[in-house]
Amino acid sequence: MILRITRADVAGPHSLHLAFNNGTEKRVNVEPLLEGPVFEPLKDPTYFSRVALDSVCGTVVWPNGADFAPEALLALPSESEVFSSAQKGS
């Protein structure tokens, strides 16, 4: 099965709540992926909020053509995992 994103909602300045066609749902912060000229505009939370779901490609896209492979987004830790790890380190 080809991994696809079936739902995407903005959940913070650089966070998305995503649903995948494999049944996984998670909230991820994409800030670690915002490197390179095409991703520079996404650092602005207002621009980031312009995300759309491309149902043909099965991923999230922005008006400037920026997108992420669903596999890269699935590989990111969920924000709850990051929060839990940070708490353990305190």
The CATH number for 16's domain is 3.30.2020.10
Q: How many residues does the chain have?
A: 90
Tokens 């008006």 locate to 63
The rounded distance, in Å, linking the Cα atoms of 53 and 5 is: 8
| 72's tokens | 């890269």
Quick: pLDDT tens for 12-34.
999 999 999 999 999 999 999 99
Tell me the residue range of the domain where 19 lies.
5-89
**pLDDT-derived band at 58, boundaries 50, 70, 90:** very high
Number of domains the chain is built from:
1
Query: Please, is 67 exposed, middle or buried when counting C-beta atoms within 10 Å of its C-beta (0-12, 13-18, 19+)?
Result: middle
* Residue 83: predicted pLDDT: 46
Answer whether 5's CB lies under 8 Å from 58's CB: yes
- What pTM value is reported for the model? 0.86
